Amino acid sequence: MPAQTVMVWIEDGTGAIARGHADSVSAEGARVRLAETPDFGEGDEVDVRICFERGAPTVATTARVGGLHTDEDGVMCDLLWTAPTAGRSAFDAWPAHAA
């Protein structure tokens, strides 16, 4: 069975949206592999939507970009949640959605 794909959409202050797949998600943040280099940078505040399963509702939150790293496979984006802790419980179950 193939790994579950967790889709992520990251919107910056200008309304530009970067799309990618989460490598990991936790109550503290996420590591996202982006399809292309985003317009936002380290330290920027962004809006984030995550879809854990195809057809499921998305989870919306806010984050600060902790870092961007380019390698041979693309761009990795580290996100640190800025939303209140109480709103992060949806992320605790992420490993159950991984293959």
Q: Is residue 87 part of a domain?
A: yes
Which uninterrupted H or E stretch holds 97?
Answer: helix 94-97
Q: For position 15, which CATH number holds?
A: 2.40.10.220
Write out pLDDT tens, residues 6-59. 899 999 999 999 999 999 888 889 999 998 999 999 999 999 999 988 888 888
So what's the pLDDT on residue 77?
Answer: 97
53 or 92, greater pLDDT: 53
**How many structural domains is the chain composed of?**
1
How does residue 99 score in pLDDT terms, banded at 50, 70 and 90? very low
Q: Is residue 2 part of a domain?
A: no
Q: Which domain holds residue 33?
A: 7-97
Strand ranges for 26-58 from DSSP E: 29-34, 45-51
